[in-house]
Structure 1
Amino acid sequence: MSWEGVLFIVVGALAGGFVNGLAGSGTALFALGFFLAALDPVSAVAVVSLMSVITGLQGLWEVRDALQVNVPRLLRFIIPGLAGVPVGISLLTFIDADTLKLVIAALLIVYGGFFSFRANLPRFERRTPVLDSGIGLIGGVLGGMASLSGAIPVIWCSMRPWPKAETRAVLQPFNVCVLFTTTAMLWWRGAYDGATVTAFLIALPASVLAAQGGLMVFRRISDNTFRRLLIGLSLLLGLGIAIRALV
């Protein structure tokens, strides 16, 4: 691998690791573009998936107390999400992934763009166990179909006036579980060859250190600031998805 390729991988790992540490989601948005400059698409996705799982474990430790606050709520997202991954993979033969990405991107851009510049944040306070499970299922299906597992859960969680630790205690384990499943399937398909493992080992130290930096910022921001961060991340995620799908 050339020094230029190594540089792209390190920069992508720093960007993806930092946003994972800060928000618990959005790693692929900030890392994948850099990785694709140095790796083929399958290897790039494989590295991002495994990197997201490893750096996500740091975020899980950060919110370990909040994870115990509402375990049933967390399971309402994770169990349908895991069930949705193979469904999404099977739907790939029937649905055009690029068209789906543009639809999801439009939703993220409209939502993120509208609320990013409003003084009042959206508030949805009542318990919605059925909707929570539906959001988890959609996230799992989109994860298997288009590697977009976090897109809809980020929107949903940013609408809930939960403390930032509780919000992250849903998003982080959900993404870790779905991406771990994706990683296992990629491994089963032989994606982790020597070149991919080498790229991952190059990315790992930078992503771990950058995630620690993101976690430091996460500890210092307020609950409302974190919600605004998720809304802004929705806008950036939508723009990133649209650009990749169109270009």
Structure 2
Amino acid sequence: MMNWEIALLVTGALAGGFINGLAGFGTALFALGFWLQFMEPARAVAIVVVLSVVSGLQGLWLVRTSILDQPRRLMRFLIPALFGIPLGIFSLSFLEPGMLRLVIAGFLIAYGGFFTFRRNFPRLEGPAPLVDAFVGFWGGVLGGAASLSGALPTMWCALQTWTKSETRAVLQPFNVAVLGLAAITFFFKGFYSGENLLFLAIALPVAMISAQVGISVFKRLDDATFRHLLVILMFVSGVVLIIRELY
């Protein structure tokens, strides 16, 4: 492995781990921009899902009380997603993943850009279990089809009146579960051997430490600031996604 490749690997792990620790999602979007410069896409994605899951597990412990306080809320998202993932994988036979990612990037930019510059941020009152299930299902579909499981749930959760811990108690386990299934799939396809294990051995501890830094910053944010942070990150994620797909 060349020195510049190690530098890109470590930088991607730092960026991905930090953003996961801070917001509970976004590892792939921020790490792959560095890794795809020297890795094949399938290899890079196989590695990044492991980092996402391990970094996410650290965040789960942080919001464990909020998860246990509202287990039904999480299940409204997660159970439909488990049915959506196979549909997303099946859709790969007739959908172009790159075009799908560009469409989602457009939604992220439009949503994030609109709400970032609004003085009064909208907040939805009252539970909406059917919408939760709808969002969870299509989050699973997008996870299977384009590795974008967190896009729709993040947009929806940012509009709720939930605290930052309640929001994260949905997003973090949702992404860990969906990406954990992806990691299992990659394992049975033989992606975790040889040089990939070396990449993981370097990137994983870096991402874990970086995630702890992100978690430390998360603890210092109030609920309103965290909600606006999610919106800004959605805008940035959309821009990063478009740049990655076009270039």
**Please, what TM-score do these two structures have when normalized by structure 2?**
0.98
Query: Which deviations, in whole Å up to 9, do the C-alpha atoms of 1:58-117 show, x marking residues without a partner?
Result: 000000111111100100111111221111010011111122112111111111001111
Unaligned 5+ residue runs, structure 2? none
1:6 Cα shift? 1.0
Q: For residue 120 of structure 1, what is the aligned residue in structure 2?
A: 120
Cα distance between partner residues in 2 of 1:201 and 1:221: 32
In 1, the alpha carbon distance for the partners of 2:195 and 2:86 equals 27
Moved more, 181-190 or 31-40: 31-40
* Structure 1 residue 195 corresponds to structure 2 residue 184: no
Q: Is the 8 A contact 1:151 1:237 kept in 2?
A: no
Do structure 1's residue 25 and structure 2's residue 35 form an aligned pair? no
What's the counterpart of residue 45 of structure 1?
45
Within 2, Cα distance between the matches of 1:5 and 1:241? 21
Corresponding residue for residue 134 of structure 2: 134
- What RMSD in Å do the two structures reach over aligned CA positions? 0.9
**Equivalent residues of 1:82, 1:181 under 8 A apart:** no
Please say which of residues 21-30 and 189-198 is displaced more in the overlay. Answer: 189-198
Distance 2:98 2:205 in 1: 32
Aligned equivalents of 1:19 and 1:173: distance in 2? 15
Question: AA paired with 1:41?
Answer: P
Return the alpha-carbon distance in structure 2 between the equivalents of residues 103 and 37 of structure 1. 23
SS in 1 for 2:14: helix
Tell me which residue corresponds to 1:70.
70
The answer (yes or no) to whether the contact 1:13–1:204 under 8 Å persists in 2 is yes
Q: Is the 8 A contact 1:109 1:235 kept in 2?
A: yes
- Counterpart for residue 158 of structure 2: 158
> In 1, Cα distance between the equivalents of 2:236 and 2:141?
21
Query: Offset of 1:38 from its aligned partner?
Result: 2.9
Question: Which letter does structure 2 place at the counterpart of 1:43?
Answer: R
Aligned position for 1:222: 222
What is the alpha-carbon distance in structure 1 between the residues aligned to residue 150 and residue 86 of structure 2?
A: 16
Whole-Å separation in 2 of the counterparts to 1:161 and 1:198: 43
TM alignment of 1:52-63, pairs within 5 A: 52-63=52-63
Given the two structures, how large is their TM-score scaled by the length of structure 1? 0.98
Q: Give the whole-Å Cα distance in 1 for the aligned partners of 2:198 and 2:143.
A: 25
* Residue-by-residue CA offset, 1:192-246 (whole Å, 9 max, x unaligned): 1211111011001110110000000000000000000100011011111211222
Give the letter for the 1:49 counterpart. V
The alpha-carbon deviation at position 2 of structure 1 amounts to: 1.3
Count of residues paired in the alignment:
247
Q: State how far apart, in whole Å, the 1-side matches of 2:37 and 2:231 are.
A: 28
Q: Does structure 2 conserve the Cα–Cα contact (< 8 Å) formed by 1:22 and 1:214?
A: yes
Relative to structure 2, which stretch is displaced further, 14-23 or 26-35? 26-35
Distance 2:10 2:86 in 1: 31
Q: Tell me the SS of whatever aligns to 1:68.
A: helix
| 1:160-186 Cα distance to aligned partner (Å, 9 max, x none) | 110000000000000000000000111
2:113 alignment partner AA: G
Paired with 2:214 and 2:133, the residues of 1 have a C-alpha distance of: 29
Distance 1:47 1:77 in 2: 25
- Letter matched to residue 32 of structure 2: L
